[in-house]
Amino acid sequence: MAFDKKHILGLGELSAEEIKVILDTAESMKEISTRDVKKVPTLKGKTVVNLFFEPSTRTRSSFEIAEKRLSADVLNFSASQSSVVKGESLVDTARNFEAMGASIMVIRHGMSGAPFVLARQINASVINAGDGSHEHPSQALIDIFTIREKKGKIEGLNVLIVGDILNSRVARSNIFGLRKLGANVRIVGPATIVPEYFSEMGAEIFHSLEHAIENVDVVIMLRVQSERKTLEYFPSLREYSGLYGLTREKLKLAKKDVIVMHPGPINRGVELTSEIADDPGAVILEQVANGIAVRMAMIYLVALGESL
């Protein structure tokens, strides 16, 4: 099956087939990363701009490496806040880069839906690198890719996501993607940040980690995002960590071959104890490595779609 999407705005918008195409393409891309010369000429002469309206180290670096391995010319634009603050609209900012010849824009923005605003109004392809509390498709694709690599499949697996589901774009993208590929998704956290509405998205809701973790194949720990005012939703980090922090004890209730994932950056001692973060069952650094392959696949496929 061909991939003919011009943009990748979220997993909510992709079909199961399209998600599989990205994952399969990422496998070939991963092979490139094992070569001595980790570079292919696929995007030679194309300009990709990374528009980052929110601070990010790993996502931006990962996209940049991915773009360079595909031989694209890379431009980086970062602003601590939306350029609206200095009077220029998001669309005007993007049009400037378009005028410089950018044909793909990777956008990270603090407000949900910002990539949709761009996709409607510019000619370049748009890849969502995280928008507000909405979606973070590349991160979820990395998680799903890593799970598939470790477990050989997605369908039928029990996947548990722990933490601030309400404010998490990683959670939404994972729920969309994992449900489409046939996994059972459980979510757990305080009732203030794990609202009932998520059950309509196909997730099973828990408020006790001990109950939720029983018999799961995969645990995805979300970061406590203090910058997103998560802290007003529960009394203290201490209480949160006691109830929802992952310890070796709690992990024993999961399946024996459970894998533990975290989109990073980790608050050691809050979401995870160090012994788990550094355990062989934790695949956190493998996620980072897979990130480059998955992002190469995303850029490659929209570039292909764009030239169709």
Partner 1 sequence: MGVLIKNGRVIDPSQSLDMVSDVYVQGDKVKEISKRIDTPRKSDTVIDASGQVVAPGLVDIHVHLREPGYEHKETIKTGCLAAAAGGFTSIVCMPNTNPINDNASVTEYILLKARTEGIVNVFPIGAITKREKGDELAEIGEMCEAGCVAISDDGMPVADSGLMRKAMEYVRPFGIPVITHAEDIGLSAGGVMNEGFVSTELGLRGIPSASEEVGIGRDIILCELTGTPLHICHVSTKGSVRLVREAKKRGAKVTAEATPHHFTLTDKEVYGYNTNAKMNPPLRTREDVDAIIEGIADGTIDVIATDHAPHSQDEKNVEFDLAPFGIVGLETALSLSLELVEKGIITLDEMIKKLTVIPSEIVGIERGTLAPGSIADLVVFDPGMSRMINPGEFLSKSRNTPFAGWELKGVVSNTIVSGKVVFSRS
In the complex with partner 1, which residue's Cβ is closer, 111 or 253? 111
3-state class (DSSP) for residue 20: helix
Please check whether residue 107 is in contact with residue 63, taking contact to mean a CB–CB distance below 8 angstroms.
no
Please check whether residue 49 is in contact with residue 278, taking contact to mean a CB–CB distance below 8 angstroms.
no
Of 40, 84, 205, 237, the residue at the interface with partner 1 (CB under 8 A) is 84
What's the one-letter identity of residue 86?
Answer: K
Inter-CA distances, 242 with 77, 115, 165, 213, 273, Å? 40, 37, 18, 15, 11
Of 108, 172, 223, 262, the residue at the interface with partner 1 (CB under 8 A) is 172
Q: Say which residues have a Cβ less than 8 Å from residue 228's Cβ, sequence separation at least 6.
A: 133, 164, 167
Q: How far is the CB of 204 from partner 1 (least distance, A)?
A: 15
Alpha-carbon distance 262 to 129, whole Å?
17
Of 23, 114, 126, 216, the residue at the interface with partner 1 (CB under 8 A) is 114
Q: What angle do CA 172, 174, 175 make, to 5 degrees?
A: 65
Of 29, 49, 90, 127, the residue at the interface with partner 1 (CB under 8 A) is 90
Which string of x and - marks every residue 189-228 that binds partner 1 (by CB under 8 A)? Answer: ------x-xx-xx---------------------------
Of 67, 98, 131, 271, the residue at the interface with partner 1 (CB under 8 A) is 131
Residue with tokens 């979220």: 10
In the complex with partner 1, which residue's Cβ is closer, 49 or 166? 166
| Contacts to partner 1 from residues 11-50, by CB under 8 A | 12
Number of residues that bind partner 1 (CB under 8 A): 28
Q: How far is the CB of 197 from partner 1 (least distance, A)?
A: 4
Burial (CB < 10 A; 0-12, 13-18, 19+), residue 204, is middle
Q: How far is the CB of 85 from partner 1 (least distance, A)?
A: 10
Contact stretch for partner 1 (CB under 8 A) within 60-68, 126-134, 236-244, 269-277: 126-134
Secondary structure letter of residue 100 according to DSSP = T
Binding site for partner 1 (CB under 8 A): 12, 82, 84, 89-91, 109, 111-114, 116-117, 120-121, 131-135, 166, 169, 172, 195, 197-198, 200-201
